[in-house]
Amino acid sequence: MNSFISKQFPMNTMSRRLLRMLWPLIVVPLTAPALAADAVAAPSTAAADASSGAAAPAAPAADATGTTRSLDEGIQNLKKDVVDLNKDLFVLEEELLFPANTQVAVFVSMDVGDFFALDSITLKVDNHDVSNYLYTPREVAALLKGGVQRLYVGNLKSGDHELVAFFKGKGPHERYYQRAASIHFEKGVGAKYLELKITDHERAQQPEFEIKDWE
Partner 1 sequence: MSGRRYAFALGLALAALALAPAQAARKSDRDKLPSIRVQDLHYGEVLFQFYSGQELQALTELEAFSQWQRMPHHSADADLLAGGLYLQLGMHNEAGARFERLLSNNVPAGVRNRAWFYLAKIWYERGYYERAEQAIGRIQGPLGGELDAERVHLLVNALMRQQRFDDAIALLKGWRGSSDWMAYASFNLGVALVRAGRLAEADPILSSVGTLNTDSAELLNLRDKANLALGFAYLQADQSDKARIPLERVRLNGPYSSRALLGDGWARAALGDYRGALTPWLELRQRNLLDAAVQESFLAVPYAFGKLNAGAQSADYYERALSSFASESDNLDGAIGHIQEGHMLDELLGEDKDARYGWFWQLKALPNAPQSRYLYAVLADNDFQEGLKNYRDMSYLSSTLRHWDDSMQAFAAMIETRQRAYAERLPRADALLGSDRPAKLRDRRAAVGSQLDAVETGNDAPALGTPDERAQWGNVARLEEQLAAVPPSLERDAARDKLRLIKGVLYWRLDAAFKARDYEQRRSLRELDAALEELQNRWVRVQQARQTVPNDTGEFAARIAALAERIHSVRERLAQASEQQNQYLESVAEAELRAQKQRLDAYALQARFALADIYDRGADQGQGATAPAPPPAPSPVPEPK
Residues 192-211 that bind partner 1 (CB under 8 A): 193, 195
Question: Which residues within the stretch 143-162 sit at the binding site for partner 1 (CB under 8 A)?
Answer: 143, 145-150
* Burial class of residue 192 in the structure, from the number of CB atoms within 10 Å of its CB (0-12 exposed, 13-18 middle, 19+ buried): buried
Question: What gap in Å lies between CA 95 and CA 58, rounded to an integer?
Answer: 42
Q: Scanning residues 63 to 92, which ones bind partner 1 (CB under 8 A)?
A: 63-65, 67-69, 71-76, 78-92
Tell me, by CB under 8 A, how many residues bind partner 1.
101
Question: Is 180 among the residues that bind partner 1 (CB under 8 A)?
Answer: no
The yes or no reply on residue 112 touching partner 1 (CB under 8 A) is: no
**C-alpha span between 169 and 177 (Å, rounded):** 5
How many angstroms separate the first and last alpha carbons of the chain? 96
Strands 192-201 and 103-110: parallel
**Minimum gap (Å) between residue 215 Cβ and partner 1:** 12
CB of 126 to partner 1, least distance (A): 20
**Binding flag, residue 8, partner 1 (CB under 8 A):** yes
With beta carbons less than 8 A apart as the criterion, state whether 129 and 163 touch.
no
Q: Check residue 114 for interaction with partner 1 (CB under 8 A).
A: no
